[in-house]
Amino acid sequence: MDYRAPRAIETARLRLVASEPSLADAVTDYFNRNRGHFAPWDPPLPVEHGQAAFHATQLAEQSEHFDAGRAWGHWLTLLDAPARVIGRVSLSNIVRGSFHSCNLGYAIDALHQGRGLMHEALAAVIAAAFAPDANLHRIQAAVRPENRRSMALIGRLGFHDEGLARDYLFNGGQWRDHRLFVRLNPAFVPPPDW
């Protein structure tokens, strides 16, 4: 079965657009503006991460993954400022078969925190992921225990804490424990060949 996610999603205040090379300048600006904000949470980044050519290549690869259904990444822009990227939501490591699951990642511009924008974006992406066209069964998010704001956000979105994963990801300069949160799709439809 060919599962699809929408390449663009609109909410009350946001437009979420799938990765494509034409976003390279806006994505580079987003990461460069937020370098210090993201540093405690990021994995080691290559030197060329601050350059548009690097992001153009990454965005082209992400677009291929999107079309193949392996990963769905959306960049957030405000409806009234569509040229400026202010965040990202990604569903990565999409696995079908008996799993129908993925990992959730998200980040927002330091200047746009605390306005409910990420909640709005995540609610829309989750709805798309659980819709019949995408039909995922499980979305997992890994959150560092000290990131109280992110844990509260995930809780408001209906994710349940499944426990602590020790030394789960390398970010902020060392291996970090993460709490694993999961949301299941109550409307999951078993594929016809099951």
For the whole model, what pTM was predicted? 0.95
- Which residues of the chain are under the pLDDT cut of 70? none
pLDDT tens profile 120-176: 999 999 999 999 999 999 999 999 999 999 999 999 999 999 999 999 999 888 999
Could you give the strand order of the β-sheet that contains 160-171, starting from the edge strand earlier in sequence?
8-10, 14-18, 72-78, 81-95, 101-108, 138-143, 174-184, 160-171
Q: Which fold has domain 8-184?
A: Aminopeptidase (3.40.630)
Residue 17 is predicted with a pLDDT of 98
H or E stretch at 66: helix 52-68
Q: What torsion, rounded to 10 degrees, do the Cα atoms 149, 32, 66, 99 define? A: -30
Where exactly are the structural domains of the chain? 8-184
**Cα 178 from Cα 154, distance rounded (Å):** 13
Give bridge partners of residue 187 from the DSSP assignment.
none
